[in-house]
Structure 1
């Protein structure tokens, strides 16, 4: 996951949105209008760390801020159409690269990626807790075993 994430970051276009801005816009697209506190918690960041990001997104017209109907001391952020378009533009180059990279996969490999991506999203959204005694060792074992597993060949090309 780290290598793929690094490669996808490398495929970012010049002038791309910051990772914090992408995270906020992504959260708002997936979950709808949210308070800054809820976004910060979902992004595993301190609210103060995202204050500037929220202000810049609002100044750029990518989000709107309105008073919370539940608590007038709080605000709710909503992604705008311009925000949706900026998010889509930012992801387009990476999507193109990923589609080209996946074109060499078999149908079964693509289906496996769809299944794995759903599982990774579930894991990413799992509540935070301290690992049970064997969980960390199990994770280490899985990672190290995956690193030792030979890459399958496809049409005579390693990993392709």
Structure 2
């Protein structure tokens, strides 16, 4: 074990750099670079969790509501999401992903997962087991 990752601060530093590098490599696999990272994140959230208000989407994505309003407007212009009246409160709107948006998300997922699956083939069974356990822990960290 590297001396740097024996402390929590050292581990935090190594994780920050490593996860950031992996995220950049995965972002480079995006099939449609004209969709910004924030727009892509909003699409993924809508595909995974279903329709929600712009405020709920902003909260889930950890951005300010005005930023999400701009993201939704751009996605709507491109036909990737649509706004509909809230069934219980006509003054509010819900944002839902369109079939075109869903297709973009699926293509993005397929491409990134294919790239990552190819990298995983280079690992030993033991390394893959370690990553399975680490993935659960990283997911918990990301949710906290």
* Alignment check: 8 A CA contact 2:53 2:95 kept: yes
Contact 1:33–1:77 (CA under 8 A) maintained in structure 2:
yes
- Which is greater in Rg? 1
Q: Please identify which structure carries the higher helix content.
A: 2
Task: Give the superposed CA RMSD.
Answer: 1.9
Q: Name the counterpart of 2:135.
A: 117
Going from structure 1 to structure 2, the CA distance change for 1:53 and 1:96 (only over 3 Å counts) comes to same
Matched residues in 2 for 1:120 and 1:86: separation? 26
Task: Determine whether 1:78 maps to 2:96.
Answer: yes
Contiguous gaps of at least 5 residues in structure 1: 127-160
TM-score normalized with structure 2 length = 0.76
Question: What is aligned with 2:47?
Answer: 29
**How many equivalent residue pairs?**
126
Alpha-carbon shift at residue 43 of structure 1 (Å): 0.8
Q: Deviations over 1:53-86 (max 9, x none)?
A: 1012122221121111232221111112211101
Structure 2 portions without partners, runs of 5+: 1-18
